[in-house]
Amino acid sequence: HPGTGTCYQQAKRVLHAAVPDRLHGRERETGAIRQFLREHLGARRPGSLYIAGAPGTGKTACVSRVLRDCQDELAGSRTVILNCMSLSSSHAVFPAVAEQLGLPAARAAGREIVRRLEKELTAQGPMVLLVLDEMDQLDSKGQDVLYTIFEWPRLPGSRLVLIG
């Protein structure tokens, strides 16, 4: 079940990557991700971070490593980790996130799921860290999915921290 285990165990399962003990040559990158989490999750400030790079350069490994190292800081927030490669379509990200957050989304239409998610992410509660691995898979024709998701941290009262 996706809701079981520590954030790190969940990340390891979803990201399907062994997390090395040391990421040689990626100290600057892991430091930047760690700093971002501190400034946003720690300070309860919504925000987004987009990590780009060629395949195989360590983007997933860096994020996994930071999640493992920052378990204490993450303890007070909800962490949702999705690998977008596993989705049937770009719009499938919405019910997948809703399910991870425990929202009933099974029978809701597309726009209704987005509305429920936005309501949930702006309601009172713990900060939510949403990690979308392989996010470029959501680059649908109209890019509406990516635009919608990157708007979430900017909604009034948002408690979302997004890493793509």
Residue 3 lies in a domain: no
pLDDT at site 104: 79
Mark residue 160 as left, alpha or beta (left: phi above 0; alpha: psi -120 to 50; beta: remaining).
beta
Rg of the chain, C-alpha, whole Å: 15
CATH number of domain containing 87: 3.40.50.300
Residue 108 lies in a domain: yes
What is the residue type of 124?
Answer: Q
pLDDT band at 24 (very low <50, low <70, confident <90, very high): low
Q: What is the pLDDT of residues 57-91, one digit of tens each?
A: 889 989 999 999 888 888 889 999 999 999 988 88
Is pLDDT at 21 greater than 70 in this prediction? no
Residue 82 lies in a domain: yes
Whole domain around residue 108: which residue ranges?
26-163
Residue 114 lies in a domain: yes
pLDDT at site 19: 56
For 4-55, give the DSSP string. Answer: -S-HHHHHHHHHT----S--TT-HHHHHHHHHHHIIIIITT--EEE-----T
pLDDT at site 15: 62
pLDDT at site 94: 93
pLDDT band at 111 (very low <50, low <70, confident <90, very high): confident
Is pLDDT at 1 greater than 50 in this prediction? no
Residue 110 lies in a domain: yes
pLDDT at site 137: 82
pTM of the model: 0.84
Mean pLDDT of all residues in the chain?
Answer: 86
pLDDT band at 106 (very low <50, low <70, confident <90, very high): low
* Domain count for the chain: 1
pLDDT band at 115 (very low <50, low <70, confident <90, very high): very high
Q: How many residues are recorded in the chain?
A: 164
Q: How far apart are the C-alpha atoms of 140 and 137, rounded to whole Å? A: 8
